[in-house]
Structure 1
Amino acid sequence: MANEKITVETFVAAPLGDVWHAYVTPEDITQWNAASDDWHTTRAEVDLREGGAFSSRMEAKDGSMGFDFAGTYTKVRPESEIEYEFGGRHAQVDFVPGNGGVTVRVAFDAEDTHPIEMQRDGWQAILDNFARHTEAKVSGRDA
């Protein structure tokens, strides 16, 4: 199972520059990076360059548990693609503009601890939160 790739994607009805900015800015990451309402990201750090590190602290809102999601960027093509390694695994994020917005696609190496469906559902939920956050931010600015 460790070699299996999982892909999730979402469409964000917002300009590419806004989508990119919301994906890579720590202040935005803390607003959208959670798979469910009982979790949140308390801090995020981003050194957006090849060889740069990133880290997000994810915690249960009731304080019962938490973990750091951290890794190193291996490829950064602004407003196009990000690749990174985390815990011996690899992920690629593509930003594909078109049809009045941007499709954000994330492909990542599955891990052996949790079922594939659980991993896919968790990453998809985070990506859906990202889309909602970004669209709300852009529409609020336009209002």
Structure 2
Amino acid sequence: MKITVEANVHAPIEKVWLAYTTPSDIVHWNAASDDWHTTQASVDLRPGGAFSSRMEAKDGSFGFDFAGTYTNVVPNRLIEYAFGDRQTKVEFKEKPEGVAVKIVFDAETTHSIEQQQEGWQAILDNFVRYVEAQR
């Protein structure tokens, strides 16, 4: 099953793209709630290139690596990647008021569809707040 999350970012496409793909920015926005954070990120933004984000509970009780391989990259337009046996597509579409970001990903079986959608949407919403605050 595919899950979709979307948001609009009121910023130029170049700024949105850089914030989404730059490790020093990713660590500022990549968390679904205030009690989690990303402690490190790496990006090799090209087909076949790897990415990784270390996500940890701020109290130190749990952490995991979210990692995979880019399968398609079209600058300022599209990022596709695989992680495990799952796929994700991230689209960036310029609009007069900014950029529409749409993420479509394969669901997993551990958490409910609602939990997955809420978590990914929360991360995307953090991304929007981060980018818009950087003006």
- The interval holding the TM-score normalised by the smaller chain is over 0.9
Deviation readout 1:65-116 (Å, 9 max, x if unpaired): 0000000000000000000000110000000110220000000000001000
- Show structure 1 runs of 4+ deviating over 3 A: none
Alignment of 1:56-75 (within 5 A): 56-75=53-72
The equivalent residue for 2:10 is 13
Are residues 1:102 and 2:99 paired? yes
Letter in 2 for 1:23: Y
Alpha-carbon RMSD across the aligned residues, in angstroms, is 0.4
Distance 1:108 1:38 in 2: 24
Gaps (5+ residues) in structure 2? none
Instruction: Give percent identity, aligned residues only.
Output: 66
The equivalent residue for 1:51 is 48
Distance 1:88 1:68 in 2: 15
Are residues 1:114 and 2:106 paired? no
Distance 1:77 1:13 in 2: 21
Letter in 1 for 2:132: E
Cα displacement (A) at 1:8: 0.1
Deviation readout 1:16-70 (Å, 9 max, x if unpaired): 0000000000000000000000000000000000000000000000000000000
Q: TM-score, normalised by structure 2?
A: 0.99
Q: TM-score, normalised by structure 1?
A: 0.94
Distance 2:96 2:108 in 1: 34
The equivalent residue for 1:23 is 20
> Among 31, 34, 40, which residue is 1:34 paired with?
31
SS of 2:65's partner is strand
Letter in 1 for 2:4: T
Are residues 1:83 and 2:80 paired? yes
Distance 2:96 2:126 in 1: 20
The equivalent residue for 1:133 is 130
Gaps (5+ residues) in structure 1? none
